[in-house]
Amino acid sequence: MLITGGSGFLGSALVDLARTQGWNVVATYHSRRPQTQGVRWEALDLRDRAATRALVERYEPDVVIHTAYRQEGPHMAAITADGAGAVAQGAYVAQARLIHLSSDVVFDGERDGRYSEADTPQPVTAYGAAKAAAERLVVAAHPAALIVRTSLIYGGPDRPGRHERFVLDVIDGRAEAIFFNDELRCPIEVSDLASALLELAALDYKGILHVAGPDVVSRYEFACMVARAFGRDPARVRGGPSPAAPRRPRNCALDSRLAQSMLATRIRGVRDVLG
């Protein structure tokens, strides 16, 4: 199994779980080589499309799970969109099962209810546009790929991710922010997502699949739950509406019933995990 972005939050969870399940794991990193033993680590710059394709083809993996991305900055499109296309090209040549991680922010967030796999992406942010472009490039290069759209990935008190750390930074005075009470997401715990992805690796389902948590919560509600889970006072969390500009997707709730019907993995709601 080849896991891109193996040094990241989701990638490292996938590396750990795949090893326990008996996979021979090759994982990539960008700048800092992780110290995890029993893994073949490869440095990879997704901006170098030829090197990206060559790496995938060289290992001839059975499965590729592409988690690497860049959320902002001048190289975001080259890494998040074009890099994903290069990974898909290499996976196609290697005849590998490809799972590509995408995002709920490919939608504009202006509808009522939840988005299904049949809804058309209409991104309103640069990152959302890069993720939507990545989906198109992946499908064009590897028609049998599985594109998994997910939401906010968190880890809880035992394995906090960047979303929890940011909430704590704000509460503890290291950063300043207002958490939006009109921006809705479906947070998913990182080990639940990793387990679901490894289960999907063994299936032949292709196309688009939504894999997110069952609970729809606002950014503000999520921040309050993080505060309580980490022993902070939720009264210190400031909430308010999202700004009119720059425009942000508000309701990005995903309908994950199709994934739930085919997975043995139980995707827990954030209220169950964080309380």
CATH of the domain at 248: 3.90.25
What pLDDT, on a 0 to 100 scale, did the predictor assign at position 245? 85
Domain match, 136 and 239 both: no
What pLDDT, on a 0 to 100 scale, did the predictor assign at position 242? 92
What pLDDT, on a 0 to 100 scale, did the predictor assign at position 118? 97
Q: What is the mean pLDDT of the chain?
A: 96
Please report which confidence band the pLDDT of residue 252 belongs to, taking 50, 70 and 90 as the band edges.
very high
**Cβ neighbours, 10 Å, residue 144:** 15
Domain match, 34 and 131 both: yes
Domain match, 116 and 165 both: no
Residue written as tokens 């009522």? 112
Domain match, 61 and 8 both: yes
Assess whether pLDDT exceeds 90 at residue 146. Answer: yes
Please report which confidence band the pLDDT of residue 156 belongs to, taking 50, 70 and 90 as the band edges.
confident
Domain match, 30 and 129 both: yes
Q: Rounded to whole angstroms, how far apart are CA atoms 167 and 223?
A: 6
What pLDDT, on a 0 to 100 scale, did the predictor assign at position 131? 98
Assess whether pLDDT exceeds 90 at residue 9. Answer: yes
The CATH number linked to 53 is 3.40.50.720
Assess whether pLDDT exceeds 90 at residue 275. Answer: no
pTM, two decimal places: 0.96
Domain match, 84 and 180 both: no
What pLDDT, on a 0 to 100 scale, did the predictor assign at position 219? 97
For the record, the structure tokens of 143 come out as 């028609």
Domain match, 110 and 68 both: yes
Which residues are annotated as catalytic? 127
Domain match, 137 and 233 both: no
Domain match, 133 and 223 both: no
Assess whether pLDDT exceeds 90 at residue 116. Answer: yes
pLDDT one-digit tens code per residue, 170-205: 999 999 999 999 999 999 999 999 999 999 999 999
- The mean pLDDT value for 83-112 works out to 97
* CB crowding 73-101: b at 16 or more within 10 Å, else e: eeebbbbbbbbbbbbbbbbbebebbbbbb
Q: Rounded to whole angstroms, how far apart are CA atoms 25 and 15?
A: 7
- The mean pLDDT value for 201-222 works out to 98
Q: What is the DSSP string of the chain?
A: -EEETTTSHHHHHHHHHHHHTT---EEEESSS----TT-EEEE--TT-HHHHHHHHHHH--SEEEE-----SSTTHIIIIIIHHHHHHHHHHHTT-EEEEEEEGGGS-S-SSSPBPTTSPP---SHHHHHHHHHHHHHHHH-TT-EEEEE--EE--TTS--HHHHHHHHHHTTSS---EESS-EE--EEHHHHHHHHHHHHTS---EEEE---S--EEHHHHHHHHHHHTT--GGG--EEPPPSSS----B--B--HHHHHH-SS----HHHHH-
- Calculate what percentage of the chain has a pLDDT beyond 70: 100
For the record, the structure tokens of 97 come out as 């099962």
Using only the alpha carbons of the chain, give its radius of gyration.
Answer: 18
Assess whether pLDDT exceeds 90 at residue 32. Answer: no
Domain match, 53 and 14 both: yes
Per the structure, the complete domain to which residue 117 belongs is given by 2-153+189-210
What pLDDT, on a 0 to 100 scale, did the predictor assign at position 31? 86
Assess whether pLDDT exceeds 90 at residue 244. Answer: no
What pLDDT, on a 0 to 100 scale, did the predictor assign at position 35? 85
Domain match, 96 and 131 both: yes
Q: How many domains does one find in the chain?
A: 2
Domain match, 131 and 93 both: yes
Assess whether pLDDT exceeds 90 at residue 246. Answer: no
